[in-house]
Amino acid sequence: MSYFNNKIVWITGASSGIGRALAIEFSNQGAKCILSARAKDGLEQTNRLTENADQNVVMPLDVTNEQKVEYAVQRVIELGGVDILINNAGVSQRSTVEKTEMDVYRSLMEVNYFGVVKLTKTVLPHMIEKGQGSIVTISSIAGKVGPPYRAGYAASKHALHGFFDSMRAETSHKGIHTLVVCPGYINTPIAHNALAGDGQKYNKRDAENANGLEANDLAKRILKAIEKKKTEVYFGKFEVNAVRLKRFLPGVLTKMLNRKFLKDPEK
């Protein structure tokens, strides 16, 4: 029987991309999913694609609304609690530092960092009370290495690593498993939904994402990492090597990223 059978898994950002693929995979393995994001129709569409739609709960939620997060956690506890929280909701960016407005940086932090912190710290006491639970957060390779056009996104993802390293140190003896996942390029609509420098949707296809790992492949790897109680994992194609290059050959990585930027400075 699957490790995930009958587990209750709460997935944010479940209306699209990686969140949708995770919902399908958890459901295939017998888990009951709570599906959250802002778009109710997108969540319902995800639910229809799952194995046991009638066992799942569609719970629209904007993770930047602290009051609504508290209310949603209360509802989830009343419904039976949560075994695995997947902090997956996120927004990317496609704009240079020179052309990005301050509000874009604030919006990215609100969703990718403060949204995750608020939901995590509201769920955490309930998991500690039970003496078990996994908190899984989808960071990025950009959470370890800052690529061009993504300064605000990379900063928001880097911040997650500091937060969760500290939280892991404080809670692992209480039965809390903390996993941070760093995907490389994944084939999802993330570029379309990314913010441009003026705060509008970027709304364009990104070849790197289109040629990236498929979301269902990533989802399978994430489930294995949860089962094995990993703490930090990197999944993708060639781009994943950037993490090791930064550690051992940082000058080479800088030159490579600068060259990549200069090929397409007006992206």
Active site members: 153
Give the DSSP H or E segment for 213: strand 213-214
Main-chain dihedrals φ then ψ at residue 34, nearest 5 degrees: -105, 120
Least distance (Å) from ligand NDP to the CB of residue 116? 9
Collapsed DSSP state (helix, strand, coil) of residue 32: strand
CA distances from 21 to 24, 176, 187, 214 (A): 5, 24, 11, 9
Least distance (Å) from ligand NDP to the CB of residue 206? 8
Binding residues with ligand NDP: total (CB under 6 A): 32
Of the residues 59, 73, 136, 186, which one makes contact with ligand NDP according to CB under 6 A? 186
From the list 37-45, 119-127, 128-136, 196-204, the region that binds ligand NDP by CB under 6 A is 37-45
Closest C-alpha to 178, from 192, 161, 193, 191: 161
Collapsed DSSP state (helix, strand, coil) of residue 221: helix
Closest C-alpha to 49, from 15, 86, 83: 15
Closest C-alpha to 148, from 15, 64, 253, 50: 253
- Sites for ligand NDP among residues 192-231 (CB under 6 A): 193, 209, 212
- 37 is a contact residue toward ligand NDP (CB under 6 A): yes
- Sites for ligand NDP among residues 78-107 (CB under 6 A): 88-92
- 189 is a contact residue toward ligand NDP (CB under 6 A): yes
- For ligand NDP, the closer of residues 5 and 53 by Cβ is 53
Least distance (Å) from ligand NDP to the CB of residue 243? 13
- Sites for ligand NDP among residues 115-174 (CB under 6 A): 138, 140
Q: How much helix, strand and coil, in percent to the nearest 5, is found in the chain?
A: 55, 15, 30
20 in Cβ contact with 47 (< 8 Å) = no
- 15 is a contact residue toward ligand NDP (CB under 6 A): yes
Task: Please report, as ranges, the residues that interact with ligand NDP according to CB under 6 A.
Answer: 12-13, 15-19, 37-39, 42, 61-64, 88-92, 111, 138, 140, 183, 185-186, 188-190, 193, 209, 212
